[in-house]
Amino acid sequence: MWEQPKFSTRSRVLMQMFTGMMMSCLGFKRCGTSSLSKLNCEVLDDELAFEVRWAVAGESIVLQMVAKLEEREYMSFGLSGEVANSVMIGGDVVVAWVDKETLKGYAYDYYLGDKSQCSGPTGSCPDSKLAENSNNIRLLNAAMVNGYSIVTFQRPLKASDQFDLPILTNQSQAIIWAVGPLNQRDEVSFHSSYLKHDSFIDFARPAKWNCPLPEGETAAKHVEPLKAVTTEAVAVVASTTTSAPTRREGGQASKRESTRTRGTSNKISQRGTQTVPPPTPVKERNAWYIPPIECYEPEDGVFYAQMGPTGGKRGYPAITGHVGWGISWYINGLLIPEINVVRGKTYNFITEGGDNPEVSAKYHPFYITDDPVGGYAYKTPEERKNISILAGVRFDKAGEPIPVGVGRLCHWTHSGDSDADDFDSFGAYQRTLQLKCDVGEPGIVTWTPDRNTPDTVYYQRQPVKKIMEPPIDAVFYDIYCLIAFSGNRINLSSPWMVHA
């Protein structure tokens, strides 16, 4: 570990850090400001001080991501799923971060197959979970400088497998980026910041530094103390090898094994070997007030369960205390409300969470459980004995669960230019939402809680906060609507998950 120099501005420290690392990699002996003419840099987000720097080296490219991240946040950058538009689906990105406790760096090759957390072979997954030897990213260096995460890595220009996209050298191409929290598997959760418009980069352009420059002194004076680049990185990049980088796991993360298959059955396959990550807690909570649905409301006991946005920082994350994936259940137009129900009364949930198991982002079976952790499909037979699925599922002769709360997709969609974080109340935000439904029929989940129903039931991993005292001889208790994000899906190769 080198002694961190003291500089007056963020720009000077970060640029000098990058100059020392990249110039060493590329074989330059001196790193004055003029050397930046040989490097590229673009600002991705001013607020996060998120920058990407790069230099082409033979048939590979060395890139560096720099950002001001919170603890256990990732930064990601890469190629859009479409050359002419910045779209997430089908994207090929690198997800990177620096552990602030150990100072170890991580960089992983990701394929963004769906707007969902990685579940089995679908969602936004590390390539290494989709096929063996498919992590085509080589971590060169990682560091923390004055609170900024800096990760340098190398990848080939050409696509190395079906989950990679090529970096073009004859034209501009659309890029994507995002920043967000890691889940407990050290995989991506729903992003808190992301690219909201089309953006393009010509990676083979004549070098141009479009990031903040150092003030006053030249960069060269402070490069020598920055001994951040490993001998391996110098050898790899200085040689400008034409071979693809060694396929290995980035950073210090443990190896993961998986295969990518597709099934057409709606039956839920069991995978007891993979654990479900507990939700990542949210540090600051200033939740919107969501009015609860009181007992005997509505009078007919019918609830309409539809999908919608999480409502920004004061919505789902603040209400539950955990990060999600950007989509939530709305019950009778309310964002994950608390529902008070009565034993002995029958309730009908009209479910419109999507009915196409081949598109996980549009398939959200609705069900109710007493398990605070979730991941029923991943449980062992012994673990399943202690879990009750209360509604929304039937079991086949082999004891495997099959969802019944499946219907067309209806989604509350935000309109206008404002972000959810701009609204002080859910009521104000709610007025910007419009319900849009696909063609089809809704599903129905019927549930009659009885004397054997637990006093406390769960949605996702968040337990109900209190038990209502009955004003008469009936017993009341709280229930949260089950949140079935895009992690909740069913097909042979993608186990159904009780959590988001």
Do 46 and 169 have their domain in common?
Answer: yes
What are the tokens at 477? 């208790």
Q: Which of 338, 270, 294, 379 is nearest to 483 (CA)?
A: 338
Do 197 and 306 have their domain in common?
Answer: no
pLDDT at 401 over 70: yes
Q: Are 352 and 408 in contact (CB under 8 A)?
A: yes
Q: Which of 477, 482, 455, 483 is nearest to 341 (CA)?
A: 477
Instruction: Answer whether residue 76 is part of any domain.
Output: yes
Ranges 49-58, 107-116, 232-241, 389-398: which has the least confidence:
232-241
Domain count within the chain: 2
Instruction: Answer whether residue 158 is part of any domain.
Output: yes
Choose between 125 and 498: higher pLDDT.
125
User: To 10 degrees, the CA torsion angle through 311, 315, 320, 322?
Assistant: 60
How much is the average pLDDT of 262-274?
36
Task: Work out the angle at residue 298's Cα, subtended by the Cα atoms of residues 294 and 304, and round it to the nearest 5 degrees.
Answer: 105
Instruction: Give the burial string for 272-311 (b: 16+ CB within 10 Å, else e).
Output: eebebbbbbebeeeebbebeebebeeeeebebbbbbbbbb
Per-residue pLDDT tens for 336-368? 888 888 888 899 999 999 988 877 778 888 888
Q: Are 293 and 332 in contact (CB under 8 A)?
A: yes
What Cα–Cα distance (Å) separates residue 465 from each residue in 62, 320, 448?
A: 50, 10, 21
Give me the chain's average pLDDT, please: 72
Instruction: Answer whether residue 259 is part of any domain.
Output: no
Strand pairing category for 476-480 and 338-342: antiparallel
Q: What's the domain range around 103?
A: 11-24+36-201
pLDDT at 52 over 60: yes
Do 319 and 450 have their domain in common?
Answer: yes
Find the DSSP H helices in 116-155.
127-130
Do 177 and 318 have their domain in common?
Answer: no
Do 325 and 463 have their domain in common?
Answer: yes
How much is the average pLDDT of 274-294?
67
Query: pTM of whole model > 0.75?
Result: no
Amino acid at 6: K
Backbone phi and psi for residue 406, each to the nearest 5 degrees, phi listed first: -120, 130
The whole-angstrom separation of Cα 311 and Cα 256 is 33
Helix (H, G, I), strand (E, B) or coil at 237: helix
**What confidence category does residue 374 fall into, taking pLDDT thresholds of 50, 70 and 90?**
low
CATH classification at residue 62: 2.60.40.1210
Half-sphere exposure of 187 (CA within 13 A, CB side): 28
> What totals of helices (H) and strands (E) does the chain contain, helices first?
6, 27
How much is the average pLDDT of 421-432?
91
Q: Which of 498, 497, 499, 495 is nearest to 120 (CA)?
A: 495
Per-residue pLDDT tens for 441-472? 999 999 998 888 877 676 432 222 222 322 22
CATH classification at residue 394: 2.60.40
Q: Are 499 and 373 in contact (CB under 8 A)?
A: yes
pLDDT confidence of residue 482: 32
Do 197 and 308 have their domain in common?
Answer: no
pLDDT confidence of residue 157: 95
pLDDT confidence of residue 468: 30
What are the tokens at 119? 């579940």
Do 191 and 312 have their domain in common?
Answer: no
Instruction: Answer whether residue 16 is part of any domain.
Output: yes
Residue where one domain finishes, among candidates 175, 201, 227 = 201
Residue where one domain finishes, among candidates 169, 201, 233 = 201
Q: Are 381 and 369 in contact (CB under 8 A)?
A: no
Instruction: Answer whether residue 58 is part of any domain.
Output: yes
Do 51 and 164 have their domain in common?
Answer: yes
Instruction: Answer whether residue 254 is part of any domain.
Output: no
pLDDT confidence of residue 48: 92
The angle that helices 231-238 and 10-26 make with each other, rounded to 10 degrees, is 60
The whole-angstrom separation of Cα 31 and Cα 24 is 9
Q: Is the peptide bond before 495 cis (omega within 30 degrees of 0)?
A: no
DSSP state letter for 17? H
Instruction: Answer whether residue 341 is part of any domain.
Output: yes
Do 161 and 310 have their domain in common?
Answer: no
pLDDT at 215 over 50: no
Ranges 91-105, 157-171, 468-482: which has the least confidence:
468-482
What are the tokens at 319? 């209400």
Do 446 and 317 have their domain in common?
Answer: yes
Residue where one domain finishes, among candidates 167, 201, 235 = 201
Backbone phi and psi for residue 377, each to the nearest 5 degrees, phi listed first: -65, -20
**What confidence category does residue 64 fall into, taking pLDDT thresholds of 50, 70 and 90?**
very high
The whole-angstrom separation of Cα 30 and Cα 97 is 28
**What confidence category does residue 283 fall into, taking pLDDT thresholds of 50, 70 and 90?**
low
Element (H, E) at 195: none
pLDDT at 108 over 70: yes
**What confidence category does residue 303 fall into, taking pLDDT thresholds of 50, 70 and 90?**
very high
Instruction: Answer whether residue 311 is part of any domain.
Output: yes
The whole-angstrom separation of Cα 486 and Cα 357 is 11
Neighbouring C-beta atoms of residue 100, cutoff 10 Å: 15
Do 316 and 187 have their domain in common?
Answer: no
395 by Cβ neighbours in 10 Å (0-12 / 13-18 / 19+) ranks as: exposed
Do 193 and 331 have their domain in common?
Answer: no
Greatest extent of the chain over all pairs of C-alpha atoms, in Å: 84
Given phi > 0 = left and psi -120 to 50 = alpha, else beta, which region is 27? left
